[in-house]
Structure 1
Amino acid sequence: MASILYAWEFGAGLGHMGVFLPLARELRDAGHEVHWMVTQPTVAGDLLANEGFTWIAAPTVQESIRPGPPLTYADILLRFGYADPRALFGLVGAWREAMRLTGAELVLADHAPTAVLAARTLGLPVMLFSNGFTAPPRRSPLPNMRPWSPVPEQTISQLDFAALAAVNTVLARHHCAPMKQLADLFDVAEEALVTFPELDHYADRGPARYWGSLPSAGAGRPVEWPTGEGKRVFAYLRPECMHHEALLVALHALGQSTAIYFPGMNPALQSRFAAPHMRFLDHPADMEQMTREADIGITYSSLATTTAFLLAGKPLLLLPWHLEQFMLARRVEEMGAGRLVNPEQPPGDLRAVLADLIDNPVWRGNARAFAAKYAAFDQQAVTGNLVRRIAEMLDDTTRTTP
């Protein structure tokens, strides 16, 4: 059987690894050796230690300061080493050595563009294991990720050219053919969009193959709901959420039975909002239970949590704090299945927003329409389909290797 390298370079939290974990289990059961290379080793320890997997730290550089928020995927790359050919060459070299040491025959890249570039220099096949955001449409220049804020085409093109120059310098040093456009970086053996078209961060992607979402990694534990009349609310928050304190004020005043998972929460803040109807969890919640029993979900626009609630036909309140999350939240709001709390604007009356989400049947109806559309969707089948496709890719590699 084969050696497979899961590569995670950009991002934070449990989301990336949690989505991949069910597939990793199936690949291991099929006899493959799965190596994890992750950007947050401490988080990996929380998730993988009891699974029998080992992990190593991915090579990364500290984000460089650039004016304004990121405009395109190229702009993100420029913030993480792609503005400096020397730095990029060092990063690629580290990824290459990891692939050599693990004997990788296939790279599963989860928001890991430098791993994709390193695999190209070694002639290794790559599956882009993507939620949509990490696999931008193949256009030149790469599209503006903030369409609500028009940007001159020349500015967009300059971002592409700058990143492409560094990439081609590295390719030349490894005696590889140059790329004609930055979008060629994502020209890989397989693009696995593990999401639904309605939740694709790029609404105008065009024709594409969507695999659907993977099942939960099953890392959560059952939750006993606190006392409280009326509806049940589940919230999954992070300290980075811009308006989390305003939200806690609203939830406290609303008086509904509320379960909150808030890793990294300030203890003083938790004490301040302690109440019989507010239960703060010290562990991840069983998402199957939450989506079945809660009436609405609140999240920082985590793709896994957002998708799970929509598949259960439950509306959402979304508090994103960075661009990827914001783009997803806009898609949910556009379909009328949730409300977006803009981190760059005052939060407004969140108690009224929550009451509307709970009481107004329109939100629930739109969420149920999404759930009905995918009622026959089998998340377990997605894992099996991906395992079969990976086996095909490995067979192709074996047949083409001298």
Structure 2
Amino acid sequence: MSNTIALCWELGGGLGHVTGLKMLADRLIQSGVQVILVVKTPHDLLSFKSCPPAQLTPIVLQAPRWRQTSPSSNSGQRFTEKPITNYAATLLAAGYHDGKQLQQHCDDWQALLKQHQVSLVVADHAPTARIAAHLLSIPHIGIGTGFCCPPKQTPFPAFDMAPDVDDNARIVADQALTQQINQVLQAAGASQVTNAQQILCSDNDVLNTLPHMDHYQRQNQDGYWGPLFSQQLGTQNQIGNSDNTEVPSAAHSKTKKRLLCYLKAGYPNISALVWALVNSDAEKLVYMNDNGELANILRNDPLTQFSQTPIDINTELGAADLVICHGGHNLSAQTLLAGVPLLMLPEHMEQGVLANKLQQQGLALACDTKRTTEEYQTMINKGLTDPQLTANSQAFANHYRGYDSDEMADEMSEMFLEIIKGQ
């Protein structure tokens, strides 16, 4: 029996998915098992510092891509419309409404798993990898945020704070999702399921979040493992290469407020946001994956240090008064666990649900993409000066004091090793 573990990521975006999988891969390969990282964006792994010896580097593969086909039916097309209020509707909008596309995608995943003789699939927002593993009789387990690991309920429950929840719409979405999955199972000669949850959910799934940050209201509060955020992401010396040397490093005392920004150049209103940052009299440490005009604007600001590559969050959080980001789960968790408030600029639904939930608890401010420069400036000033926001964030950190992401990764790795040993 092969001892190959496939760590898979299929849907969604951001560094958070590869962060957790890379942490697990480093531990598993040093335990003597073969690991393949099957991820949506392999190039993101270049953002990490080297950890294990070179001879233990895992195999990195591009996750199968969804092929472009037309919707299989008009009824399927409606699931690509918003608002999307539960996990079933999310998958239908991501491509599961198209039976032909889902079949081809599942075939691609099966071919990959068979080629590498995988003995365990660990799926972080990789539902098709789980279907493929089911068809190949390979054990599979889900990990990830609440968004990726919904409660095992039929129909899938609504996201926490989702607008205009329609119970009938959730039932219809569940039925449509189950029908599409059953078509794949039937084509493979496998037994059909009564609901999609039988494949896409498991009692052993690992919930990598905290109750305050869950995308759902869960009755069982005992299933939380906690977030995975890496100590290896980004480098400190890249900031030292900034054109601006006037801004003190995190190790120095400071008299001004300090912003730590993790931004995407593709954010719909990034220009207005950049000018709001430049107009702020706070010191700024900005990561943005851009080297064009906006990057030059930031470089020319005497109070801004700019980096095109991810920065060392662990080093810089201690000096930050506010973190501005798009609402990625792991960065948000790491920030709040350090007692620092957030200004969140969500780009998609997963981030939006989290941003709304944290704002409701007084842990963050949330902005949509239609703000003016002046409105962004107002939000930044509020985030830097609101004492209640800071107090709430520090209370969050005190509540979870002692949480150790590295210990959590150790425990998860041990569990995966026990699974393959028991085969």
Same fold (TM over 0.5): yes
What RMSD, in angstroms, separates the aligned Cα atoms of the two structures?
Answer: 2.4
Q: State how far apart, in whole Å, the 1-side matches of 2:262 and 2:46 are.
A: 21
Q: State how far apart, in whole Å, the 2-side matches of 1:147 and 1:62 are.
A: 33
| Conserved 8 A contact 1:19-1:215 | yes
| Correspondences of 1:204-283 after superposition (within 5 Å) | 204=218, 206-222=220-236, 223-224=239-240, 226-227=246-247, 230-263=256-289, 265=290, 267-273=292-298, 274-283=300-309
Q: State how far apart, in whole Å, the 1-side matches of 2:47 and 2:376 are.
A: 33
| Correspondences of 1:178-217 after superposition (within 5 Å) | 178-188=192-202, 190-204=204-218, 206-217=220-231
Pair 316,80 (structure 1): closer, same or farther in 2 beyond 3 Å: closer
| Conserved 8 A contact 1:232-1:296 | yes
Instruction: List per-residue Cα deviations over 1:120-152 (Å, max 9, x = no partner).
Output: 111211121111111112222222337442143
Amino acid at match of 1:156: R
C-alpha displacement at 1:183, in angstroms?
2.2
Pair 110,375 (structure 1): closer, same or farther in 2 beyond 3 Å: same
Instruction: List per-residue Cα deviations over 1:83-123 (Å, max 9, x = no partner).
Output: 23332222212111211111111101011000011111112
Q: Choose which of 128, 144, 151 in structure 2 pairs with 1:114.
A: 128
Pair 268,156 (structure 1): closer, same or farther in 2 beyond 3 Å: same
Could you tell me which residue of structure 2 aligns to residue 361 of structure 1? 387
| Conserved 8 A contact 1:232-1:257 | yes
Q: Does 1:53 align with 2:58?
A: yes
With the length of structure 1 as denominator, give the TM-score of the two structures.
Answer: 0.91
Bigger shift: residues 129-138 or 222-231? 222-231
Could you tell me which residue of structure 1 aligns to residue 252 of structure 2? none
Amino acid at match of 1:39: K
| Correspondences of 1:3-402 after superposition (within 5 Å) | 3-44=4-45, 47=48, 52-61=57-66, 66-145=80-159, 147-188=161-202, 190-204=204-218, 206-222=220-236, 223-224=239-240, 226-227=246-247, 230-263=256-289, 265=290, 267-273=292-298, 274-343=300-369, 349-396=375-422, 398=423
Could you tell me which residue of structure 1 aligns to residue 251 of structure 2? none
Bigger shift: residues 59-68 or 82-91? 59-68
| Conserved 8 A contact 2:49-2:232 | no
Q: State how far apart, in whole Å, the 1-side matches of 2:160 and 2:338 are.
A: 29
Instruction: List per-residue Cα deviations over 1:153-176 (Å, max 9, x = no partner).
Output: 222222211111110111122232
Number of aligned residue pairs: give it: 396
Bigger shift: residues 48-57 or 152-161? 48-57
Bigger shift: residues 157-166 or 174-183? 174-183
C-alpha displacement at 1:289, in angstroms?
1.1
Q: State how far apart, in whole Å, the 1-side matches of 2:187 and 2:390 are.
A: 55
C-alpha displacement at 1:351, in angstroms?
1.9
C-alpha displacement at 1:72, in angstroms?
2.5
| Conserved 8 A contact 1:226-1:257 | no
| Conserved 8 A contact 1:82-1:166 | yes
Bigger shift: residues 123-132 or 341-350? 341-350
C-alpha displacement at 1:49, in angstroms?
8.9
Structure 2: runs of 5 or more not aligned: 72-76, 249-254
| Conserved 8 A contact 1:142-1:182 | no
Q: State how far apart, in whole Å, the 2-side matches of 1:257 and 1:8 are.
A: 36
Bigger shift: residues 321-330 or 228-237? 228-237
C-alpha displacement at 1:56, in angstroms?
1.8
Instruction: List per-residue Cα deviations over 1:176-218 (Å, max 9, x = no partner).
Output: 2221122223233621111111111113464441111224151
Percentage identity across aligned positions? 27
Structure 1: runs of 5 or more not aligned: none
Pair 203,345 (structure 1): closer, same or farther in 2 beyond 3 Å: farther
Q: State how far apart, in whole Å, the 2-side matches of 1:347 and 1:196 are.
A: 33
Instruction: List per-residue Cα deviations over 1:275-322 (Å, max 9, x = no partner).
Output: 100222122111111211211111100112111111110001000010
Q: State how far apart, in whole Å, the 2-side matches of 1:383 and 1:359 are.
A: 36
Bigger shift: residues 153-162 or 111-120? 153-162
Amino acid at match of 1:387: S
Pair 231,181 (structure 1): closer, same or farther in 2 beyond 3 Å: same
With the length of structure 2 as denominator, give the TM-score of the two structures.
Answer: 0.86
SS state at 2:205 partner:
strand
